[in-house]
Amino acid sequence: MNLPNFALFSGTANPDLTGAIGHALDRRVSPSRVEHFPDGELSVHLDEPVRGQSVFIVQSLAPPVTENLFQLLLFVDACRRAAAGRVTAIVPYLGYSRADRRHARREPITASMVASLFQTVGLDHLVTLDMHTPQIEGFYHLPVDALTAVPSLCNEIKDRLSPGTVVVSPDEGRVKMAGEFAGRLGATVAVLQKQRESGTETKIIQVIGDVRDRPCLIIDDMITTGGTIANAIEALLKAGARPEITVAAAHGVLTNGSRARLCHPAVREVLVTDTIAPTHSKWPQLRVVSIAPLLAAAIQRLVARESIANLFQ
C-alpha cells in the first residue's frame, strides 16, 4: 500500500486490534513502552522518532477506563514533545460518554472534561465509533469523526437472520440506529417504551410495533451489564415474539454477570465488535466482528488527505 509515511502506535487496551489495523495497512505498529512505577504512576516511551510525522494512536477507553484514558493522554503528550506533525487518536470505544449531562446539581459532566483534557495535551483529531450520544461531539473544539459499526455488523449477520425479523430498539434513544439496521436488512422496527421507576431502575411498559410470532434482532450501542437486553428479551417474549432472538451491539463492555443475563434460551447469538478486547471464552453464542478494516480504511484516507464521508454509509 503506497501511503505517505506515518506512525501507528498502540496503547495496551487492545493491541490485537492495532495489530490487525497495521496488517490491513501493510504497516508495522511502531514500538513503544508503557510502564508502571512502584507507586502506580504510568510512564510512556516512544521507541522511535516521530518528528514531523502524522501519528495515529489506537487506544479504547475500556476497563480500566481511567488508566487507559490517562495512558492515551501520555501518548499524545509524548508525541507532542517529540515534535510530531499531527496527532490523531483512534478511540474505538470512547469511555465516559454516558456522563454527558448532570443528573443532579453537584455532579461533573465527565464527557466534557475528557474533551478538555484531549485538547489540553494537544490532540489534533479524534476518530471514534458509535458514540453513546452524538451531541458529545459538541464538547470538542477539534475535528471529530464518529464512524459506525452498523454496516460491519449487518454484513456479518444478514445471511443468518430468519425472514421477517424485526429490528428492536431497546429505548427511544436507539431508534435512529435501529432504523439504520432495518434499512440495510430490509426489516421493520419495533421500539420498547420505558418508564423510570427510580433513579437507577426503569421498567418496559410497552412494545411499539408488531413482534408477534416474529424473530427479533435487539440492537444497542453497547452492552455493559446485560440488564437492558435481558429486560428487552422478557418484554418481547411477553408480547408474543418468537423465541428466536439475536442481539447486536457496537461495543461489548460485558462486565461481570453480563454473560449470565444474556444466556437465555431464546437468544441465538450475541454480536459485538472488537472495539474492546474480548475477555469471554467458551461462550458459544458470542460472535466478535472485527472493525479493523473500517479503522484501517479511515486511517488510509486521513493519511492521503481524502474524505472519509462514504465510510459512514
Catalytic residues: 194
> Where does residue 193 rank: exposed (0-12), middle (13-18), buried (19+ CB within 10 A)?
middle
Residues 6 or more apart whose Cβ sits within 8 Å of residue 309: none
Cell 411498559 belongs to residue: 205
Paired residues of 246 in beta bridges: 217, 269
Helix axes 15-25, 292-303, angle to 10 degrees: 60
User: Which own/partner contact pairs does 20-26 have at CB distance under 8 Å and 24+ positions apart?
Assistant: 20/274, 20/290, 20/292, 20/296, 21/58, 21/90, 21/292, 21/295, 21/296, 21/299, 23/292, 24/292, 24/293, 24/296, 24/297, 25/1, 25/296, 25/299, 25/300, 26/1
| d(C-alpha 303, C-alpha 298), whole Å | 9
Adjacency order of strands within the sheet including 216-223 = 202-208, 188-196, 166-169, 216-223, 245-252, 267-273, 286-289
- Compute CA distances 301 → 2, 78, 161, 238, 298, whole Å: 12, 25, 33, 47, 5
| d(C-alpha 124, C-alpha 88), whole Å | 6
